[in-house]
Structures are given as C-alpha cells and as structure tokens.
C-alpha cells in the first residue's frame, strides 16, 4: 500500500504539472520564449515522455493498490487479461475502425506495439478499470451471481466512459491521437448517426465502443475477483476515488482552457456524479 500511495502522489503531481503547462504556456500560440531552439528541445522531450510517464506511474499505483486488496496473483492475472483484451480492441480499432471509429495514435503516448497502439494504453484501461470498479463497489450490492456481475460490469463501463467524454476531446486536441472520420453524407442513416462527429470531432460510435469494451474487460475482471470481494476489500478504501479524480484533472483543464468549455463542464458533471455518490454511499446498503 505504501508503493500505491507513493505512486498515486507522483501521478497526481504529474497530472497537476501537466495541467498547469497546458493551461499556461502550452496554449496556442506558443510564446516566443519557448520557441527558442533549446527550449523547444526541452518541450519536445516533455511532450514525448510526459504523457507516457504519467500513465505508467498511474498503472503502478493501480496495480500496487489492487495487489494490496486482493493479492498479487489475481491482480497480475487480471492485468494480463485486461491488457490482452484492451490491446486487441484498440489494435482492431486502429486497423478497421471498429468498435471505436477511424483513428490512429501518434507517438506522444510512447512506443506503439506492432506500430498500432502505445504500450501504456492497455495499462491505462486496467488502472481506470480498477478505479471504476472501486467506485461501483460503493454503489452496488456485492452479489456474485452471473446477472449481478454483468450489471456491475455495465455500471463500471459507464463510469469509465464518463472519463472518456472529457479525455477524448482533450487528447484529440493535443494530438495524442487523430480521428479520421470519412464523409458519410451519402451513407445510410444508421452509419451517419454512428459516425456523427459533432462532439468536438469525435464520432458517436467511439463512446458506444468504450461502453462495449469496458463492459467486457470489467466482466472478465469480475470473473477473477467477484463483486463480494470488491465490496469487502476495495470499497473501504478511498484510493480508487482519488485515482479516478486525478485522471479527470488534466483533460478537464485542457478542455476548459483550450476552447472546449462544454466538454470540460461535461467532464466535471459526469465524473463528479459517481464520485459524489461513492463518497456518500453507505456500505451497509450500497445506496447513494
């Protein structure tokens, strides 16, 4: 738990520093001072390694915390399964456009496995899943039957997708990945609806893909660590709530400062509601 707390502190510090940077001197147009060769080189290194370092430390925090709660063996098993499923979904997405829509990653999130998906994208799926299931464990009853596990998985998926509603516009605007939505004006109605990119250039299908993929990875994790154990061993801790809130900090700041105020407000609301409910939830009843 000591490692988890230290990693979380470092994760929060990096998120806060990045938030300050993106709220001040990284807002276009870049001040002339930072366009000098030496300063530009420093900024390029920070841009290239800052994001991947932040995500890696967040993953360390999530892995260490869950290991403290349920043990190393099941944590590493869950990490391996989530990594494979999330990577497969992301790799298929970058090649075919399903289930998230047509997009590609840039180099700003680190080395891309098979030239497609940055290595730390699947790990970010894992630690945000830990945070989302941790919040769900404050809100839901710890029943281990099949229907309850699917319900838990769906609720956790909604909590994760709430994060993406603010994270995706921020990362798209700062060119961590690029959307390539084609002209669908002559396509069937259902394709136009799924491909509609009126939410800051992001297609509707992306968020449906997030719900689907997050439900699958959550259900897989719940097969290893059932809801009753999340309630007994994870719900008493505020750590998942802090991890979830920390990861909303940077994208909300970027959206508010980079001319995407509605997305920032959406992020505050949709991430704030489950956090508020989890903070107020009574563990005996599982009610908000």
**pLDDT higher than threshold 60 for residue 9:** yes
The answer to whether 166 touches 271, Cβ cutoff 8 Å, is yes
CA atoms within 13 A on the CB side of 114: 9
Q: Are strands 103-105 and 177-179 parallel, antiparallel or unpaired?
A: antiparallel
**pLDDT higher than threshold 50 for residue 241:** yes
The answer to whether 31 touches 265, Cβ cutoff 8 Å, is no
Could you tell me the maximum CA-CA distance found in the chain, to the nearest angstrom?
Answer: 61
Q: Are strands 112-113 and 177-179 parallel, antiparallel or unpaired?
A: unpaired
| Burial (CB count <10 Å: 0-12, 13-18, 19+), residue 131 | buried
- The mean of the pLDDT values for the chain is 92
> In 69-93, which positions are buried (b, 16+ CB within 10 angstroms) versus exposed (e)?
bbeeebbebbbebbbebbbebbbeb
The pTM of the full predicted model, rounded to 2 decimals, is: 0.93
Give residue 201's region: left, alpha or beta (phi > 0; psi -120 to 50).
left
Tens digits of residue pLDDT in 188-226: 998 899 999 999 999 999 999 999 999 999 999 999 999
**pLDDT tier at 282 (50, 70, 90 boundaries)?**
low
The answer to whether 88 touches 79, Cβ cutoff 8 Å, is no
**pLDDT higher than threshold 60 for residue 288:** no
3-state secondary structure of 246: helix
**pLDDT tier at 284 (50, 70, 90 boundaries)?**
very low
**pLDDT higher than threshold 80 for residue 261:** yes
Dihedral of CA atoms 252, 256, 259, 263 in degrees, nearest 10, equals: 50
| Burial (CB count <10 Å: 0-12, 13-18, 19+), residue 220 | middle
Unique residue bearing structure tokens 């030496």: 38
**pLDDT tier at 32 (50, 70, 90 boundaries)?**
confident
Q: Which two tokens stand for residue 246?
A: 């920390």
Tens digits of residue pLDDT in 132-187: 999 999 999 999 999 999 999 999 999 999 999 999 999 999 988 999 888 888 88
Rounded CA gap, 181 and 39, in Å?
35
Q: In this prediction, what percent of the chain has a pLDDT beyond 70? A: 96
The answer to whether 231 touches 285, Cβ cutoff 8 Å, is no
What pLDDT score was predicted for residue 97?
Answer: 93
Rounded CA gap, 217 and 215, in Å?
6
282: which strand partners?
Answer: 287
Tens digits of residue pLDDT in 35-79: 777 777 776 777 777 788 999 999 999 999 999 999 999 999 999
What pLDDT score was predicted for residue 40?
Answer: 72
Q: Which two tokens stand for residue 273?
A: 């509601």
3-state secondary structure of 141: coil
**pLDDT higher than threshold 60 for residue 283:** no
Range 237-250 average pLDDT: 96
């Amino acid at each position: 738990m000591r490692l988890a707390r230290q990693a979380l502190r470092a994760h929060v510090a990096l998120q806060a520093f990045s938030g300050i940077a993106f709220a001040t001197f990284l807002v276009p147009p870049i001040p002339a001072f930072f366009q000098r060769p030496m300063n530009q080189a420093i900024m390029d290194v920070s841009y290239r390694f800052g994001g991947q370092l932040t995500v890696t430390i967040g993953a360390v925090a999530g892995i260490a915390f869950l290991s403290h709660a349920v043990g190393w063996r099941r944590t590493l098993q869950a990490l391996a399964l989530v990594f494979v499923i999330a990577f497969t979904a992301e790799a298929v997405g970058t090649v075919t456009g399903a289930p998230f829509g047509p997009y590609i990653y840039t180099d700003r999130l680190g080395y891309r496995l098979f030239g497609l998906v940055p290595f730390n994208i699947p790990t970010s799926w894992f630690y945000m899943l830990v945070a989302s299931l941790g919040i769900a464990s404050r809100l839901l009853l710890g029943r281990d039957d099949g229907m309850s596990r699917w319900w838990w998985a769906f609720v956790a998926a909604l909590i994760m997708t709430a994060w993406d509603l603010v994270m995706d516009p921020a990362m798209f605007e700062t060119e961590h990945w690029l959307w390539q939505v084609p002209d669908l004006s002559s396509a069937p109605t259902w394709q136009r609806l799924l491909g509609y990119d009126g939410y800051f250039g992001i297609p509707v299908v992306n968020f449906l893909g997030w719900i689907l993929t997050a439900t699958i990875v959550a259900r897989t994790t719940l097969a290893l660590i059932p809801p009753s154990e999340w309630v007994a061993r994870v719900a008493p801790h505020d750590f998942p709530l802090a991890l979830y809130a920390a990861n909303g900090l940077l994208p909300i700041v970027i959206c508010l400062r980079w001319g995407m105020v509605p997305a920032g407000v959406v992020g505050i609301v949709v991430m704030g509601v489950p956090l508020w409910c989890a903070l107020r939830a009574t563990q005996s009843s599982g009610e908000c």
